[in-house]
């Protein structure tokens, strides 16, 4: 699409998971996330430290986000802000 390589991608729910180290530029990441979102792909950003030091919590959070994407929302229900887009 734009020459991006995702760390992880789940096409079934349109979710891109990025594990960010210290070299990521939030401004560039934001542009990338918006371009992906224009194609229906949401980005979930996690830090290396979250993945390494809080693995179970991280996996639980990813599952929570997938559940939010796959469960129907009641009509008129607002979208709750989440971590990482």
Give the model's confidence band at 26: pLDDT under 50 very low, under 70 low, under 90 confident, else very high. confident
Give me the residues paired with residue 42 across strands. Answer: 15
User: What is the C-alpha separation between 62 and 57, in angstroms, rounded?
Assistant: 9
Whether the CB-CB separation of 29 and 20 falls below 8 Å is answered with yes
pTM as predicted: 0.73
pLDDT tens-digit series, residues 36-85: 999 999 999 999 999 999 999 999 999 999 999 998 866 655 554 444 44
Q: In 3D, which of 16, 20, 23 has the Cα closest to residue 62?
A: 16
Give the pair of three-digit tokens for residue 85. 């887009």
The confidence score (pLDDT) of residue 81 equals: 44
Average pLDDT, the chain: 85
């Amino acid at each position: 699409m734009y020459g991006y390589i995702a760390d992880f991608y789940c096409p079934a729910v349109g979710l891109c998971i990025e594990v960010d180290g210290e070299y990521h530029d939030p401004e560039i990441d934001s542009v990338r996330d918006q371009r992906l979102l224009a194609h229906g792909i949401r980005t979930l950003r996690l830090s290396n430290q979250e993945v390494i030091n809080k693995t179970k919590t991280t996996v639980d959070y990813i599952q929570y986000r997938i559940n939010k994407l796959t469960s129907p929302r009641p009509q008129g229900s607002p979208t709750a802000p989440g971590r990482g887009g």
